[in-house]
Homo-oligomer: A and B are copies of this chain.
Amino acid sequence: MEIGVEDQHQQRFGLVEGLQEIPPERWQIPGFRASGVHAGLKRRRRDVALIVSEEPAIAVGTFTTNQVQAAPVRWTRRRIEVGLPVRAIVCNSGNANACNGPQGEQDAAAMAAATAAALGISPDEVLVASTGVIGLPLDMGRLLPAIGAAAAALESGPDGWSAAVEGIMTTDTRPKMAAVECAIQGRTVHVAGIAKGSGMIHPNMATMLAFVVSDGQAERAVLQDLWRQVVGETFNQISVDGDTSTNDMALLLAGGRSGVRLDAGDPELKRFAAALHTVARSLARQIASDGEGATHLVEVEVTRASSDAAARQIARSIARSNLVKAAVFGQDANWGRILCAAGYAGVPFDPEKVNIWIGPVQVCQNGRSLPFDEAAASAALAQPEVHLAVDLAAGNGTGVAWGCDLTYDYVKINANYRT
């Protein structure tokens, strides 16, 4: 797990240095317990995860923009919209429970009911998520008893969280976890999150699940604004393959055990925002770098755009380009493809002012070729993390997006996903 603390990021959140990373083996988030068990929806690994808040938590979330929304997305979105406190998140992997008609809706409700029964709470206090193959009915005969087992296995320590993160993985090769603690109002506040990728990942919530919890708290409206902004700059800026899934959600549960409760306008809100942003950004980067078949994380930074939104849009377009991704895989400093992908992002700019860097090597100046050290550029493309920078010389907007390279293994994995 890495929590990137680059210069730009530090600059943005001047107070980021106040954050302490919590390594996974020390996770203990006051007021929360977690577990993961094996129901048999996947062959071997855990496929059910449960996260429980001991207090009624304020919950906010963002969801897939796909017209096709899986039953659990609809269930959870409704609960989030109503705005009542939440006690648990239950999630299965191995089956998306999408495109299953009324049966799917019933099954999502039954997952909530089983969780509620096991915990002695109301089904309306349970958020439901699913991920996996589309269009196959859930095997409730396996899933419902497993939910009971998950409730019995809840733990407040690191083992519970590592079991939970395994329970939400599909083709992920690595668990994705990030946690920090920081001082707010003189107390210690924790923020911790788990996430899964790794195909069908694209802005606006691709097959991506992220569950973030905190013992800090803020008014619901404040939390919702904060989360929307954080998600816009992190999870919505990653692309593995441009496919936006039917099942995505990024949920935040604020339990409040720390005793810290922030109102709108509180000067300490910035510290809480920085903690959330740091965790979400780390998870987003972990998802991108573990994209299906990926061998490199690609970070695209766009500066001096006409606005932050324009910068983010251009960064996404570059991170998404199959041709850029294939060039990274081939360690080919083909910067024309970077400029080209910027050009079709749908944002006007003057190509004759554009500067491009691959790692530390400037490869394009004022929209034109520059004699550059091909070996140095190739070496920058050989790093596990490839940094592409595009300067538009048009304004003050900045934006970052993350993607990965396009490899033989991406094709292999996705040509034979079901079989």
Chain B residues near A408 (CB-CB < 8 A): 408, 411-412
Chain B residues near A368 (CB-CB < 8 A): 99-101, 135
Contact between B332 and A366 (Cβ–Cβ < 8 Å)?
no
Contact between A244 and B344 (Cβ–Cβ < 8 Å)?
yes
Q: Which of B101, B137, B411 touches A407 (beta carbons < 8 Å)?
A: B411
A407 to chain B, nearest CB (A): 6
A384 to chain B, nearest CB (A): 17
A13 CB–B CB distance under 8 Å: no
Whole-angstrom distance between the alpha carbons of A175 and B306 in the complex?
A: 43
Whole-angstrom distance between the alpha carbons of A337 and B200 in the complex?
A: 9
Whole-angstrom distance between the alpha carbons of A265 and B197 in the complex?
A: 56
Contact between A337 and B242 (Cβ–Cβ < 8 Å)?
no
Q: Which of B67, B243, B342 touches A351 (beta carbons < 8 Å)?
A: B67
**Chain A 221-243 residues near chain B, CB threshold 8 A:** 241-243
Contact between A98 and B411 (Cβ–Cβ < 8 Å)?
no
Contact between A200 and B340 (Cβ–Cβ < 8 Å)?
yes
Contact between B417 and A99 (Cβ–Cβ < 8 Å)?
no
Contact between B366 and A414 (Cβ–Cβ < 8 Å)?
no
A319 to chain B, nearest CB (A): 13
- Write the A341-366 contact mask toward B (1 if CB under 8 angstroms, else 0): 11111011101100000000000101
Q: Which of B66, B246, B332 touches A418 (beta carbons < 8 Å)?
A: B332
Whole-angstrom distance between the alpha carbons of A352 and B105 in the complex?
A: 13
Stretch at the interface among A55-63, A255-263, A320-328: A320-328
Contact between A369 and B411 (Cβ–Cβ < 8 Å)?
no
Contact between B134 and A340 (Cβ–Cβ < 8 Å)?
yes
**Chain A 384-419 residues near chain B, CB threshold 8 A:** 406-408, 410-419
A40 CB–B CB distance under 8 Å: no
A320 to chain B, nearest CB (A): 8
Contact between A98 and B336 (Cβ–Cβ < 8 Å)?
yes
Chain B residues near A135 (CB-CB < 8 A): 335-336, 339, 364, 368-369
A119 CB–B CB distance under 8 Å: no
A133 CB–B CB distance under 8 Å: yes
Contact between B406 and A411 (Cβ–Cβ < 8 Å)?
yes
Q: Say yes or no: A323-B241 contact (C-beta < 8 A), given A66-B340, A334-B418, A343-B67.
A: yes
Whole-angstrom distance between the alpha carbons of A202 and B343 in the complex?
A: 13
A409 to chain B, nearest CB (A): 9
Whole-angstrom distance between the alpha carbons of A386 and B412 in the complex?
A: 20
Whole-angstrom distance between the alpha carbons of A192 and B342 in the complex?
A: 34
Q: List 19 A-B contacts (CB under 8 A).
A: A67-B343, A67-B348, A67-B349, A68-B351, A101-B367, A134-B337, A135-B335, A135-B369, A242-B321, A242-B322, A243-B323, A244-B344, A246-B336, A246-B340, A327-B417, A329-B415, A332-B417, A334-B418, A406-B414
